[in-house]
Amino acid sequence: MPAAEPPGATSGARDRRGRGLRGPLAPAGSPLHRTRAERFDEQVLDAFERLERRYVRELAAVDVAVEDVPPPADAGPVRLGDVIAGLGTRPPVLVVYRRAVEARATSPREVEDLLREVLAEQVADLLGLPPEQVDPGYGQG
């Protein structure tokens, strides 16, 4: 025989420890439902899009990727991004390391500023230009 529920209790309304409903708070597909990594990916694409508008022809075949962490290095500071040169028919790839950028920034605004700088440096490296020419706002964030 099932145990009787206390008066006023509704079945399934609370978990067994009384902590309330469990599960997603926002419906799938809504902006609130995105993960931190998905929001970061969107920020990277937004920052790259700004540069891509300035250098349409030069960046048309360039891919952008986000990795969680950089590969281990022997020494030196942790890299925030890398440029992987294109080989054969493969286009060059600009890689941003999410966890490294998030660890360096202390606010969402700093993440945006840091992404702009990292991508400006990568595009400058790829095009052989100074970062200040690629993004006039470079270093002012």
96 within domain boundaries: yes
> pTM to 2 decimals?
0.74
80 within domain boundaries: yes
Which pLDDT value is given to residue 11?
Answer: 53
Residue spans of the chain under pLDDT 70: 1-33, 141
Which pLDDT value is given to residue 125?
Answer: 93
43 within domain boundaries: yes
Helix axes of 108-127 and 36-54: crossing angle, nearest 10 degrees: 40
Domain of residue 75 covers 31-134
11 within domain boundaries: no
CATH of the domain at 127: 3.30.2010.20
Burial 34-73 (b: 16+ CB within 10 A, else e): eeeeeebbebbeebbeebbeeeeeebeebebebeeebeee
**Number of domain units in the chain:** 1
Which pLDDT value is given to residue 31?
Answer: 64
Which pLDDT value is given to residue 13?
Answer: 56
